[in-house]
Amino acid sequence: MGANIAEGFGRYHFADKVKFYYQARGSLKEVQNFIFLARDLGYINTEKGEEIFKEIRSCEMLVNGLIRSANNQK
């Protein structure tokens, strides 16, 4: 996720920026899937999973803000 944001930030065209920010948001969903899997397989407990899901939601809100900001700069 962080690498996608960094790459998007380095782009000069707003469409390129937004593309990488969307990829970062997709990466968060991938991580969320891995957390579900880890919880279902017993590697982490439900409480830890919920803690991580809250962090993911927080990150997703920040990425959505980046997307809105880049779209507003067009």
| 7-47 tens-digit pLDDT | 888 887 878 889 989 999 999 999 999 999 999 999 999 99
For 58, the token pair is: 């927080």
How high is the pLDDT of residue 7?
83
How high is the pLDDT of residue 14?
78
How high is the pLDDT of residue 54?
97
Instruction: Read off the pLDDT band of 56 (50, 70, 90).
Output: very high
Measure the CA–CA gap between 8 and 26, rounded to whole angstroms: 14
| Model confidence, pTM | 0.82
Q: What residues does each domain of the chain span?
A: 2-72
Phi, psi of 15 (to 5 degrees): -60, -40
